[in-house]
Amino acid sequence: MNKKNSSSGFTLLELVIYTGIFASVAGLLTSILVSTTKVTTNQTVTTQVSNELNLLLSTVQNQVRSSSNIDCVGSSQSTCSTSTSPGSYLKLRFENPALDPTCIYLSGTQILLAQGPDSTNPQNCTSVTQAITTGKVNATSLTFTKYDFPGGHATVQVDATLAYNSTSPDMQISRSLHSAIGRVSAATFDSDLLPDLTNSRSIGTSIGPKTWKDLFLSGNLGIGTTAPAAKLQINGGGVGLPPTTGTAVSAGEVMRLRSTDAAGGILDIGSGTNQFWFQSTDATGLGTGYQLLLNPNGGNVGIGTTTPTSKLQVVGQIRADSPDGSDALSLYNSANGGFWNVNLKGDATTSNNFYLNNTNLGIGMAGNTLTIRSNGNVGIGTTTPNAKLDVTNAVITADTQLGVFGAPGSLAGVGYVTFGGGFVGWDYASGGIALNAHSAGGSNGGIFVKGLNAGASVVGIGTKTPGTRLHIKQSADSAIGGIRLERNVDTNSWEMWNSSAAYLTFSYNTSPVMTLANNGSVGIGTAGPTHTLGVAGTIGASGAITASTTPDLSETIQAAPDVIAADVVMADPNNTERVIKSDKAYESAVVGVISDGTSSFMINSYGGSESATLTGKPLVLAGRVPVHVTNEGGAIKPGDYLTTSNTPGYAMKATHAGPTIGKSYGFFDGRSGKVLTMVNVSYYDPNNGQSTQDARIVALEAKVVQLEKSCVLK
């Protein structure tokens, strides 16, 4: 039987074939894997660049649309300009002071965002920044271009290119952004109202139905100045007096007030050389002078004084010029239509004569009633007096006499004039002149003038021995005393009289109005003042409240017996309307500081009347007072917020958020003592440097402002 040989392995040819097949497959698979990996990497790089480009766009969009104003663009912060020149630096303005200004700019290959003001120059952005792009990409270009439109609707065009940060040329993939972002709403402003490119925009318009309604400013407004020192300061362009002809405005005009009514005229206000002027006139002819009214509805006018007591009170000289020779001054009585006219003029005989005449007053003569010539002669009823006193056209009656009687020392005098039953006489024996409504040489019931010289002249009413310049004494035969001023058109009168040995009373129609006590007290509306000034009723005045005492406003409140002046107090948790010393740092129940009782204005909360004595202790509502302090919170300097401490009744420097009693006005670096403090109970947060005022203090401050506008106490 034939046996056949067999083999279980591959032949050499098969191995070669299979090896070639495997090598081809392996190479193909490797090529596929490499290609897949490269595609994946490119997609990752592209995604990274695109994402950061989208982040840049969304950041710019959010900042521009939420800003108050697109301020400027430029190549850097120092060259940032409101012009339309493109640059890689964008500055935005915000109402929020923590974000104003905000800047977006290219720094190297990164795009940065800076929000908030620089510590040294608040108009520049802070140096503290955050990156908009990461280190995975390089910002190869960034360009902002600003386009202005009326009303603050500016638009920013953004052109940017980002490239992946890699040394491999295959991975340096770049993407570009071209977009424009506009502000939808009109510009709003926190502190600076900035014009657009024309630098000539108006606020509102007089053309068309859309105009501004009201303008509210919390700070100062300057016109013609960038540093107004008052609520409104207007700086003019020059000096000059108002024109006398034409319609050209004076170079010195600063302000013009004009009514919309054609017949209303205008009021020009301006300045000359070292002077200020007002001119009421007509815009169509500035040489036409109109009336200028002061207080047409009543009120006093003071020149050189802050407390005028009559319709016009002048402290200083008054001059009335009459260039055309007419009356320089006329005094008019509106009740009966009479005039007193005053004139100063020369004539052919002598110059600078003084004339006083009246019309329809029922006294004197027609024409010039009183003339005083430059040579010293005085004429009554004549303009050409020939003696020191020349009376012409006097009405003589049967019981009117002018004569001399007696010898020196006899009767009442050596000369007299009688009018009916009374007389005027000069008395050598007593050294004066007597006027008596009784018979010549009668009792003390008349008027006596003694010592006719500048150094010792005195007048007695009811006495022939006056001890002061004016001495009024109740007559022995009459119960009448004091002084009465009575109108001639009605029965209304003012009186001043000694209501008792201790009081001098001023009354109107015998009803007491004001009383002066011999201890220096003054009562208004009350006949028996017990305080230095007692007022029954409200106090109203115009001007500032000034005093030489502690400059604070306080009200009395019940307090624990150990509470003293300068103590910091809190609400008593066990009693209503009562305070005790604060004894814990950052005490939330703190209500203020106790004054020393010399407050410029103190409210007697528990008095019940103007004559009541002060009850309780004065709690400061507003103003500056000494405050007990310790160094528990560290050294104190002006401007530091003060809060309660762990020492009863003492304050310390506030170092973290919590209730405060006010701001220090002085330095303190000892263990304990006092420091002058502006009291203002608030809440202080050092993280934002702001103090939130207590609502009660805000309301009180508003009342104080209202009081200052309507009341002046000196």
* Residue 259 pLDDT: 74
Pick the more confident residue, 363 or 581: 581
Residue 632 has pLDDT above 80, yes or no: yes
| Exposure letters 411-420 (e unless 16+ CB within 10 A, then b) | ebbbebebee
* Residue 710 pLDDT: 53
The segment with the largest mean pLDDT, out of 85-89, 495-499, 549-553, is 85-89
The total of other beta-carbon atoms located within 10 Å of residue 573's CB is 8
- The predicted-structure confidence for 275-310, as pLDDT tens digits, reads as follows 888 888 877 777 777 777 888 888 898 888 989 888
Residue 138 has pLDDT above 50, yes or no: yes
**Residue 37 pLDDT level (bands cut at 50, 70, 90):** low
Residue 548 buriedness (CB in 10 A; 0-12 / 13-18 / 19+): exposed
* Contact indicator for 533, 516 with CB cutoff of 8 Å: no
d(CA 599, CA 586): 27
Single out the residue of 391, 427, 395 nearest to residue 412, CA to CA: 427
- The residue type found at 453 is N
The segment with the largest mean pLDDT, out of 78-87, 135-144, 161-170, 497-506, is 135-144
Look up tokens 């493109």; give the residue: 86
Residue 158 buriedness (CB in 10 A; 0-12 / 13-18 / 19+): buried
Residue 417 has pLDDT above 90, yes or no: no
Percent of the chain scoring above 90 in pLDDT:
17
DSSP 104-151: EEEETTEEEEEESB-SS-TTSBPS-EEESS-TTEEEEEEEEEEE--GG
Single out the residue of 637, 665, 668, 642 nearest to residue 654, CA to CA: 642
* Residue 689 pLDDT: 53
Pick the more confident residue, 711 or 284: 284
Assigned superfamily of 550-710: Head decoration protein D (2.40.300.10)
Q: Residue 72 pairs with which residues in a beta bridge?
A: 91
Mean pLDDT confidence for 374-388: 72
Mean pLDDT confidence for 499-504: 68
Residue 232, helix vs strand vs coil: strand
Residue 122 has pLDDT above 80, yes or no: yes
* Contact indicator for 469, 459 with CB cutoff of 8 Å: yes
* Residue 714 pLDDT: 33
d(CA 687, CA 684): 9
Single out the residue of 607, 603, 610 nearest to residue 552, CA to CA: 603
* Residue 40 pLDDT: 61
Domain locations along the chain: 43-182, 250-291, 400-481, 494-535, 550-710
Alpha carbon separation from 154 to 144, 147, 199 (Å, rounded): 13, 6, 15
Single out the residue of 594, 574, 589 nearest to residue 677, CA to CA: 594
| Exposure letters 23-36 (e unless 16+ CB within 10 A, then b) | eeeeeeeeeeeeee
The segment with the largest mean pLDDT, out of 273-277, 311-315, 525-529, 594-598, is 311-315
Q: What are phi and psi of 524, to 5 degrees?
A: -115, 115
* Residue 448 pLDDT: 64
Mean pLDDT confidence for 302-325: 81
Residue 87 has pLDDT above 80, yes or no: yes
Mean pLDDT confidence for 435-446: 49
* Contact indicator for 512, 528 with CB cutoff of 8 Å: no
Residue 637 has pLDDT above 90, yes or no: yes
d(CA 70, CA 64): 7
d(CA 542, CA 545): 9
The segment with the largest mean pLDDT, out of 43-47, 205-209, 543-547, is 43-47
d(CA 277, CA 243): 12
* Contact indicator for 425, 438 with CB cutoff of 8 Å: no
Residue 24 has pLDDT above 90, yes or no: no
d(CA 592, CA 601): 16
Q: What are phi and psi of 100, to 5 degrees?
A: -100, 120
**Residue 323 pLDDT level (bands cut at 50, 70, 90):** low
Single out the residue of 96, 131, 128, 129 nearest to residue 110, CA to CA: 131
Residue 406 has pLDDT above 60, yes or no: no
- The residue type found at 10 is F
* Residue 135 pLDDT: 86
Report residue 203 CA to chain centroid gap.
25
Single out the residue of 651, 666, 640 nearest to residue 586, CA to CA: 651
Look up tokens 């169509």; give the residue: 284
**Residue 41 pLDDT level (bands cut at 50, 70, 90):** low
Lowest mean pLDDT among 217-226, 246-255, 320-329, 657-666: 320-329
d(CA 322, CA 355): 13
Residue 449, helix vs strand vs coil: strand
The segment with the largest mean pLDDT, out of 134-148, 177-191, 381-395, 508-522, is 134-148
Residue 509 has pLDDT above 80, yes or no: no
Mean pLDDT confidence for 466-490: 66
* Contact indicator for 409, 429 with CB cutoff of 8 Å: yes
Residue 713 has pLDDT above 60, yes or no: no
Locate 605 and state its tokens.
Answer: 């909360």
Pick the more confident residue, 610 or 493: 493
Locate 358 and state its tokens.
Answer: 């009246």
List the alpha helices (DSSP H) in 161-207.
none
Q: Residue 285 pairs with which residues in a beta bridge?
A: 282
Lowest mean pLDDT among 88-102, 185-199, 648-662, 691-705: 185-199
Helix (H) or strand (E) holding 668: none
Percent of the chain scoring above 70 in pLDDT:
62
The total of other beta-carbon atoms located within 10 Å of residue 393's CB is 10
Mean pLDDT confidence for 141-155: 79
| Exposure letters 258-271 (e unless 16+ CB within 10 A, then b) | eeeeeeebbbbbbb
Residue 199 has pLDDT above 70, yes or no: no
* Residue 419 pLDDT: 47
Locate 476 and state its tokens.
Answer: 């022995």
* Residue 325 pLDDT: 61
Q: Tell me the residue length of the chain.
A: 714
